[in-house]
Amino acid sequence: MIAPPFDQIALLQTRLPQALNGPEDFTQFNQQLAYAAPGFSLQPQTLALLQDGLSFEARIAELGVIATRPGSLHDFYSALMWLRYPRVKQAINAIHMQGIVLHGAKQRSRHQQAVTHLDEAGAWIFSDSDTLFELADQHAWEPLFWQQAKAWQSRSPLGSIRAAIFGHAIYELMHAPHQTLAAKTIWVKVPSDFFKLDIAAQDFALDHCIAAALLAGTHGHDPKPLATLPVSGIPGWDARTDEQDFYQTAPCFRGKPAGRVYSEALALLGN
């Protein structure tokens, strides 16, 4: 079964290698990256590359070089996110560099910790419905995923909702069957006609909106306000989403921690 997150990046993968191993794979990928993020390139992480004395983040900031381990699924999916959300990736790098200047390389600020959570296990949740966001806010998982399953696939009387997976560790873990996964999320309120756009157009708008919010520190400034979403519950993700009992018994569907307050939804396109 091909889960929704893999469907989302299928458009990229049709014109890219399925992994990054030899020089030809890197060359092919960098040809695409030149359009998405001019000035940046993937380079195989070798001992020679690491001898430049720069940290991973500083190498990106100063040289535009993204050290990438050949054959690593983790690094491959991170590279795909450089194509899909290049401005968010650059914003995360800028936040890390700000933290390094202020706190040094061995200590991470709360801002750095938050964007690291997003980089590894983040997702954007976008909807035209305040009610659907309220269900997510309250961890009302069975109503959100089971009773409102149609909202995730097309449109329910309450509206529409979708998830765009950003965290490359989530993609990597999708290769291990039977895991239930959760993401740290940023919510984005969109107009109803946003769902008529193709994935590339949606990604372009989300990339600009979320990158600006991260840099401004209005969202992703601290790990705690990042809302949790058990993405395994998204209809179609897991075979068990066809069973109502899954939402009642799986350990990933936890209640909201007492006193926790999540960041409000970003506004996109005037909403």
Domain boundary among 107, 128, 155: 107
| Positions of the chain with pLDDT under 70 | 1-15, 177-178, 269-271
What contacts 168, CB < 8 A, 6 or more positions away?
74, 75, 77, 78, 80, 81, 119, 120
Sign of CA dihedral 45, 50, 52, 55: positive
The count of structural domains within the chain is 2
Asked if residues 233 and 136 have their Cβ atoms less than 8 Å apart, the reply is no
pLDDT at 122: 97
Asked if 134 and 88 sit in the same domain, the reply is no
At 127, list the tokens.
């909807």
156-193 pLDDT tens trace: 999 999 999 999 999 888 877 667 889 999 999 999 99
User: Given the structure tokens 């690491």, which residue do they identify?
Assistant: 50
Asked if 256 and 152 sit in the same domain, the reply is yes
Domain boundary among 72, 107, 142: 107
pLDDT at 10: 61
Domain coverage including residue 181: 116-267
pTM: 0.93
Label residue 204 exposed, middle or buried (CB < 10 Å: 0-12, 13-18, 19+).
middle
Asked if 197 and 88 sit in the same domain, the reply is no
Asked if 230 and 190 sit in the same domain, the reply is yes
